[in-house]
Amino acid sequence: MTALVVMKDIGKSFPGVRALHNAQLELLSGEVHALMGENGAGKSTLMKILAGIYRRDAGEILLDGKPVEINSPRQAQDLGIGIIHQELNLMPHLTAAQNIFIGREPRKAGGLLLDEAKLNADTAEIFASMHLKLDPRTPVGGLTIARQQMVEIAKALSYRSRVLIMDEPTAALNDAEIAELFAIIARLKAEGVGIVYISHKMDELKRIADRVTIMRDSEYIGTVPAAETPVEKIISMMVGRTLTDDRPDIPDHSKSETVLEVKNLNRGTVIRDVSLSVRKGEILGFAGLMGAGRTEVARAIFGADRRDGGDIFMHGKKVDIRIPQDAVRAGIGYLSEDRKHFGLATGMDVRNNVVLASLARFAGPAGLLREGAMHDVAARYIDQLAIKTPSDRQEVRLLSGGNQQKIVIAKWLLRECEVLIFDEPTRGIDVGAKNEIYKLLNALAQQGRAIIVISSELPEVLRLSHRIAVMCEGRLTGILPGGASQEEIMHLATLRGDAANQNKQKTAKGEAK
């Protein structure tokens, strides 16, 4: 059987960066082929070449055994190659249906007019096949990231491609949505579609992948069968060494001072009477399903959204936080889950992004910036977080997704806030770097910072947290000790309505004892 796609000896350089060198991939039809590698290994670049977004410098692409040139996204589509991009690429002002069929709108009146009814009906059909409950006429800008991701997936499906590339499609999805996606993948596979699947979540490999191709430092390392190869082997092929992960013991914080305390936080129906506190040196995990209101709580504390009610205390003193500036002044930092929109000035370079929140510190007399000092600091973080960039002058938008995330982390580390709220800090970050970030968070806690980590990945919450707050539908449904089990968390995460109130009273009593 000839392979559906063969990419041979692909080379690609950007100014100052060699992104690919002798990269390879062989995709069969009806196969889910995982593409693994650290942040910046070149996965997305290789796939963008296949999807006609970048031109390759060297190498050859065969489709059904025949060499092809793919020079534009349009050509890729015509050849039956579809891609779900790592970064969302939607038009926020347009509806879901309009986004999905952009450029391919059904027409009527001899092609002159748009057939909006058919557009929405076709979209509804795709959504139904995905078991997605979403009105095709909803503008996507108002949707959660997870929902937007589902729209992207629907869009890719609408092309009915023979080759479907998914670049970290599950990064923003919850377990139910992931299960739904995997069901879709199984169906496509049965229809003979070849799927390239990029993800940093190792558990997904075993669930869906048939084969795994591993890349490291822009090169091809090897292709192995997914089922028979132990995860440790794959990881060591990715990072070139074996990782050790020792979870530190949970320290006892009952004597430490409470740094941040939030009382009776309310905002419409999204935050309902949430009270919590974090102590010095403590890592408070924030678990819950997507949409439980965790990000909303963080944003309300940070002053990014208005509050209907609730007080915030730092070291027992009430602080008045109305805008993010107030929060930063009070010593609270927030790392958004949506780095593209809120975390980074993507058009600026690495150096400026790292110092952005602390710029005043680098201003000399007359407001002159001390570039040298800025460079030193940026270089230190590039080193400490292993950020893959040719220099601190590289524009951030040119870095790989995971490395952009590290820049956001560096920015807030530099700000030296007493309280740091991390919202999905390792989304899109590779296993090796994830480990580094866990170590870093632990070190920060040891230095006496109070840390809140919002994460949708239970293993991550369990790995990091000293205490775990669980939310469901805007309510805090309980606070568990660090050693809690996944089942206990899931129970609280799905506790709705009245049951939650009763339970909260119980835990409140429990804490009082």
Partner 1 sequence: MSAAASTASTSAVSRFSGAQHRLLAFASLIILVAVFSFASPNFMQTSNIIAILQATSVNGVLAIAATLVIITGGIDLSVGTLMTFCAVIAGVVLTFWGMPLGLGVLAAILAGAASGTLSGTFVAKLKIPPFIATLGMMLILKGLSLVISGTRPIYFNGTPGFTQISQGSLIGSVIPSLPIPNGVLILFLVAIATSFILERTILGRFTFALGSNEEAVRLSGVNTDRWKIAVYALAGSICGIAGLLIASRLNSAQPALGQGYELDAIAAVVIGGTSLSGGRGTIIGTLIGALIISVLANGLRILSVAQEWQTVVTGSIIILAVYTDILRRRRL
Q: Which residue has the tokens 């909803």?
A: 138
Shortest distance (Å) from residue 18 CB to ligand ATP? 8
Query: Shortest approach of ligand ATP to residue 307 CB, angstroms?
Result: 35
The residues binding Mg ion (CB under 5 A) are: 44, 86, 401
Query: Going residue by residue from 338 to 357, which x/- string records binding to partner 1, judged by CB under 8 A?
Result: ---xx--x------------
Query: How large is the greatest C-alpha to C-alpha distance in the chain, in angstroms?
Result: 76
Please list every residue from 57 through 76 that binds partner 1, using CB under 8 A.
72-74, 76
Cα–Cα dist 123/96, whole Å: 8
Pick 19 or 462: Cβ nearer ligand ATP: 19
Of 11, 30, 80, 139, the one binding partner 1 by CB under 8 A: 139
Give the total residue count for the chain.
Answer: 513
Please name the residues in contact with 9: beta carbons below 8 A apart, sequence gap of 6 or more.
22, 23, 24, 58, 59, 60
Q: Does 508 bind partner 1 (CB under 8 A)?
A: no
Give the alpha-carbon dihedral of 263, 265, 271, 277, to 10 degrees.
-30
| Minimum distance, C-beta of residue 37 to ligand ATP, in the bound complex (Å) | 5
Stretch that binds ligand ATP, among 38-46, 223-231, 373-381, 416-424 (CB under 6 A): 38-46
Helix, strand, coil percentages, rounded to 5, for the chain: 40, 25, 35
Q: Which does 73 bind (CB under 5 to 8 A by kind): Mg ion, ligand ATP, partner 1, none?
A: partner 1
39 binds, among Mg ion, ligand ATP, partner 1, none (CB under 5 to 8 A by kind): ligand ATP
Binding mask 401-440 for ligand ATP (x = CB under 6 A): xxx--------------------------x----------
Binding mask 153-182 for partner 1 (x = CB under 8 A): --x---------------------------
Applying CB under 8 A, does 94 fall inside the site for partner 1?
A: yes
- Residue 443 interacting with partner 1 (CB under 8 A): no
Shortest distance, CB of residue 44 to partner 1, whole angstroms? 13
Give the β-pairing of 163-167 and 194-198. Answer: parallel
398 binds ligand ATP (CB under 6 A): yes
129 forms part of the interface with partner 1 (CB under 8 A): no
Stretch of residues binding ligand ATP (CB under 6 A), selected from 41-49, 115-123, 142-150, 409-417: 41-49
- Helix axis angle, 175-190 relative to 145-158, nearest 10°? 10
What does 482 bind: Mg ion, partner 1, ligand ATP, none (CB cut-off 5 to 8 Å by kind)?
none
Q: In the window 350-389, what residues touch ligand ATP (CB under 6 A)?
A: 388
Give 340's DSSP letter: I
Contact between 206 and 41 (Cβ < 8 Å): no
Tokens of 162: 């023979």
Q: Is 16 exposed, middle or buried (0-12, 13-18, 19+ CB in 10 A)?
A: exposed
Q: Which of 98, 199, 352, 405 binds partner 1 (CB under 8 A)?
A: 98
Which of ligand ATP, Mg ion, partner 1, none sits in contact with 399, Cβ below 5 to 8 A by type?
ligand ATP
In 176-218 the beta strands, taken as DSSP E runs, fall at: 194-198, 211-216
4 binds, among partner 1, ligand ATP, Mg ion, none (CB under 5 to 8 A by kind): none
Q: And the tokens for 513?
A: 């004892």
Residue bearing tokens 């390392």: 221
d(CA 237, CA 341): 33
Residue range at the interface with partner 1 (CB under 8 A); choices 99-107, 220-228, 252-260, 402-410 = 99-107
Alpha-carbon distance of 343 to 366, in angstroms, equals 28
Distance of CA 111 to the CA centre of its chain: 40
446 part of the interface to partner 1, by CB under 8 A: no
For 207-245, the DSSP string reads: HH-SEEEEEETTEEEEEEETTTS-HHHHHHHHHSS----
CB-nearer residue toward partner 1: 58 or 356: 356
CB 16 within 8 A of CB 390: yes
Contacts of 386 (CB under 8 A, 6+ apart): 406, 432, 433, 436
In whole angstroms, how close is the CB of 423 to ligand ATP at the nearest point?
18
Question: Rule CB under 8 A: which residues touch partner 1?
Answer: 53, 72-74, 76-77, 85, 89-94, 98-99, 102-103, 105, 107, 112-114, 116, 139, 141-142, 155, 299, 302-305, 323-325, 334, 336, 341-342, 345
